[in-house]
């Protein structure tokens, strides 16, 4: 059975989804790919342990505390390739950014491939089902370009600011 709860954050209302006391989803309301891959009915239940832990984690995070992703039981649903990309997202330190190209290089090395498309990486990142906690907002384009964020560029900028990142050096050209 899948359970859901809601969390009101500084970047908007979040939907949290769990299965077997593991967090399988966290989406900003109205974000791209909202509830992607979730086909089962969701039952509202606020007081299960993973939701209590996740809400505390989010409270601390939004209050500027550096949080460890390992504090939570996460089980994002996706392809093996997507899960590999999301794993590399979890390795980006709090308060820092990396590029799609750097993630592509890490995945390329892990998979022992000659090439790895930054677009393939971007597609996997955009389908990250556990926003904020799996920090896809820390990935930017080359030359400090802010590129797409399923939760919206304004929210991406706000999350980076929460982590103390100077966003004045980042550029956005629009879609």
pLDDT of residue 22: 97
DSSP state of 114: S
Which residue, among 105, 118, 117, has the nearest Cα to 148 in the 3D structure? 118
Domains of the chain: 2-71 (3.30.160.70), 80-169 (1.10.10.10)
Catalytic residue list contains 136: yes
Phi, psi (rounded to 5 degrees) for 131 = -55, 155
CA dist 24 and 38 (Å) reads 9
Catalytic residue selected from 116, 124, 136, 160: 136
Higher pLDDT, 164 or 36: 164
Query: What are the structure tokens assigned to 162, written together?
Result: 């929460």
pLDDT of residue 173: 66
Cβ of 114: how many Cβ atoms within 10 Å? Answer: 5
11 has pLDDT over 60 = yes
Q: How many CA atoms lie within 13 A of 35 on its CB side?
A: 11
pTM of this prediction?
A: 0.92
pLDDT of residue 174: 60
Query: What are the structure tokens assigned to 143, written together?
Result: 């030359």
pLDDT of residue 63: 94
Write the pLDDT tens digit of every residue in 114-172: 988 878 898 999 999 999 999 999 999 888 878 878 788 889 899 999 999 988 888 77
Residue located via tokens 């384009």: 141
Which region among 21-25, 89-93, 137-141 has the lowest average model confidence (pLDDT)?
137-141
Question: Percent of the chain, pLDDT > 90?
Answer: 67
Give the residue ranges of DSSP H helices in the chain: 49-62, 80-90, 100-111, 118-126, 153-162
32 has pLDDT over 90 = no
- Beta strand 98-99 with 139-140 is parallel
Cβ of 87: how many Cβ atoms within 10 Å? Answer: 14
CA dist 5 and 52 (Å) reads 10
pLDDT of residue 167: 87
Which residue, among 103, 40, 114, 26, has the nearest Cα to 72 in the 3D structure? 26
98 has pLDDT over 70 = yes
pLDDT of residue 163: 94
pLDDT of residue 18: 96
């Amino acid at each position: 059975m899948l359970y859901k709860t809601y969390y009101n954050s500084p970047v908007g209302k979040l939907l949290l989804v769990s299965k077997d006391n593991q967090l399988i989803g966290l989406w900003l309301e109205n974000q791209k790919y909202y509830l992607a891959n979730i086909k089962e009915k969701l039952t509202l239940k606020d007081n299960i342990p993973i939701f209590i832990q996740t809400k505390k984690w989010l409270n601390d995070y939004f209050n500027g505390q550096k949080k460890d992703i390992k504090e939570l039981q996460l089980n994002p649903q996706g392809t093996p390739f997507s899960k590999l990309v999301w794993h590399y997202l979890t390795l980006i330190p709090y308060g820092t950014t990396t590029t799609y190209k750097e993630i592509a290089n890490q995945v390329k090395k892990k998979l022992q491939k000659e090439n790895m498309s930054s677009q393939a990486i971007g597609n996997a990142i955009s389908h990250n089902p556990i926003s904020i906690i799996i920090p896809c907002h820390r990935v930017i384009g080359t030359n400090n370009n802010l590129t797409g964020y399923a939760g919206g560029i304004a929210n991406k900028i706000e999350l980076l600011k929460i982590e103390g990142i100077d966003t004045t050096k980042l550029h956005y050209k629009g879609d």
